[in-house]
Structure 1
Amino acid sequence: MKLPAALPVLRGAAPPADTAGALLSVQQLSVAYGQSEVLHGVSVRVEPGQVVCVMGRNGAGKTTLLKGIIGILRARSGRVLFDGRDLTAEPAYSRAHAGIGYVPQGRGIFPQLSVLENLLIGLEPVGGRDDGQLEEVFTLFPVLKQMARRTAGVLSGGQQQQLAIGRALMGRPRLLLLDEPTEGIQPSIVEQIEGVIASLKGRLAVLLVEQFLDFALANAEYCYVLESGSVTMEGPPAVLDAQRLREALAI
Structure 2
Amino acid sequence: MKTVVVKCGGSVLKELSDSFFNSMKSLIEDGYQIVFVHGGGPEINAMLEKMDVESEFKNGLRVTSREVLEAAELVLSGSMNRKLVRMLEQKGIPAIGVQSSDQGILRADFISQEELGFVGDVTAVNKNVLELFLQAGLLPVMTPIAKGPDGTVLNVNADHAAGAAAYALAADHLLMVTDVPGVLKDGKLIPSLTAAETNELIDSGVISGGMIPKVKTALKALQSCEHVHIVSGKKPFYEGGKWYGTLFNKEETI
Name the TM-score, length of structure 2 as normaliser.
0.31
Structure having the higher helix fraction is 2
Name the TM-score, length of structure 1 as normaliser.
0.31
